[in-house]
Amino acid sequence: MFTYFHDKDIFYDAFRRSLSKRLLTQKVKEEWERHFLTKLKITCGDAYTKKLEGMFNDVKISTEQYNPAFKEWCQKKDKDLECELSVTVLNDNYWPSSSRAQLTPALDFAPCSKAFEDFYGCASQKKMLIWLYSSGDTTIVHSTPGPAPGKKGKEYLLNMSCTQASICLLFNQTQNWRFKDLIEQLGTTEEALKFAITPLLYTADRVFANKGPNSKGKPKMPDGKPEPITYESLQDEDVIGITPIKSTKVKVVYPPGKGLPRKNPAAGGGGAAPAPGAGADPNDPSAGDLAAVMKERELKMQLALVRVMKARVTFTQQQLIAEATDQLAKFFLADPRIMKKQIEILMERNFMRRDPEDQRKIHYCA
């Protein structure tokens, strides 16, 4: 089926992003993935799969070298970390661009991150590590109060994002936080915090409750029913408090939040109208994926045009577009109108020029 795709570069971008998620969450069947990469390499060449293979190598090196060496280094340095840390070191050239979430993680994470940075030798090797908090996950232990004094409560394993875990760990300091104070404490944005806290507030396995600005609960509608949950349900002055988990499972997985609708002022009874993008994942760069692919297409067109002209020296515009289109066919079907525009851009940059006597002819400028 892949050989019939005209837009192989759009497929590549989507496949690369989905593969990165599978690799980082360890939900990957390596034999199948590598078999598919082999087929891609045969069809499109080495350049098409170089970054994909680099992603596999990064994960393999981190699993087989960095993490075992880090544990051994901690033992030699007598560093007793309070939690287990597994790090995947990503080469920025191979992996798809990821939004770097604004977040000041909970202090509980600081000793681990500092220890790994010391182990990696950022200062001595003049390398810089940038932590991608939106790409990892965390498992924390949540203990509930016992049924009676002196009796032990139930323990849950909560699997969540780093931002969600940072929210939960703040409640070890105090059992109630105003929403605006959470934003300030975590150094994040209102949109990012609402996206992260939604599964912890509005699902069956919730750990928090919105107590409203006066800690007496959110107001209800005239018919006694609770107001619909919208993007505006969380206000700056609202108090967030801990609530008992009702799950029968020991391990609870909290998926990323979903976009919440915004209130529709025209709707009676507190109705809500969906607003595309409201409460969407602020760390997901997919919204700008297509624009980035189209920008990269223009660059590939320019490179193909220059390659053809360098080999031919003098060519007609029609022949130039046809040959460059053939070179690009393994990536995408080039639009002749955009190709003409790229030719004009290259002429402005003095890569080529038109023949003064025959406008159809183009000469390469060395």
CATH code given to domain 288-364 = 1.10.10.10
> Are residues 306 and 345 in contact, defined by beta-carbon separation less than 8 angstroms?
no
Burial label, 225 (beta-carbon count in 10 A; 0-12, 13-18, 19+): exposed
Q: Global pTM?
A: 0.74
Fold (CATH) for 133-283: Ribosomal Protein S5; domain 2 (3.30.230)
Q: Where are the domains of the chain?
A: 2-96, 133-283, 288-364
List the chain pLDDT tens, one digit each, 366 residues: 888 878 888 888 888 889 998 998 888 888 899 999 998 888 888 888 899 999 999 999 999 999 999 999 998 988 888 888 899 999 988 998 776 778 888 888 888 888 998 888 865 677 778 888 888 889 999 988 777 777 777 889 999 988 899 999 999 988 899 999 999 999 988 888 888 888 898 888 889 988 888 877 777 777 767 777 777 878 888 899 988 888 888 899 988 776 677 776 444 444 444 443 444 555 555 555 778 888 888 999 999 999 999 999 888 999 999 999 998 888 888 889 999 999 999 999 999 999 888 888 889 987
CA atoms within 13 Å, Cβ hemisphere of 206 = 15
